[in-house]
């Protein structure tokens, strides 16, 4: 279950189906990722082909990321089946 989304545009896409705050070319992929996060019970539920799931290190230890497109990622924490602190970011 999604508990909170840090990125305003991503939150608007999830809550109100408004895509104004995200790249238009990413909307379909972001909706797929959000749907997966909504139903994910474990981190392995996000380990699907093409998502390139990986754990983050350093200051972001405890977070995981999945690929949207190019350098763009959705990062999140999954705790007890709850997706927390979801963000949409350009890695570079």
Residue 91 pLDDT: 83
Contact 36, 29 (CB under 8 A): no
Residue 66 pLDDT: 98
DSSP string covering 2-67: B--B-SHHHHHHHHH---TTS-GGGHHHHHHHHHHHHH-SSGGGG--TTT--EE--GGGTT-EEEE
Q: What is the pTM for the complete model shown?
A: 0.94
Second CATH level (architecture) for the domain 8-90:
2-Layer Sandwich (3.30)
* Domain residue ranges of the chain, discontinuous segments joined by +: 8-90
Residue 20 pLDDT: 95
Residue 13 pLDDT: 98
Residue 14 pLDDT: 97
Tens digit of pLDDT at every position of the chain (92 positions)? 999 999 999 999 999 999 999 999 999 999 999 999 999 999 999 999 999 999 999 999 999 999 999 999 999 999 999 999 999 999 87
């Amino acid at each position: 279950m999604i508990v909170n989304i840090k990125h305003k545009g991503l939150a608007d896409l999830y809550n109100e189906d408004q895509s104004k705050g995200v790249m238009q070319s990413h909307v379909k992929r972001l909706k797929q990722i959000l749907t997966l996060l909504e139903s994910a019970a474990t981190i392995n539920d996000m380990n699907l082909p093409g998502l390139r799931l990986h754990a983050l290190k350093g200051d972001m230890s405890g977070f995981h990321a999945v690929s949207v497109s190019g350098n763009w990622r959705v990062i999140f924490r999954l705790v007890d089946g709850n997706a927390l602190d979801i963000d949409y970011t350009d890695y570079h």
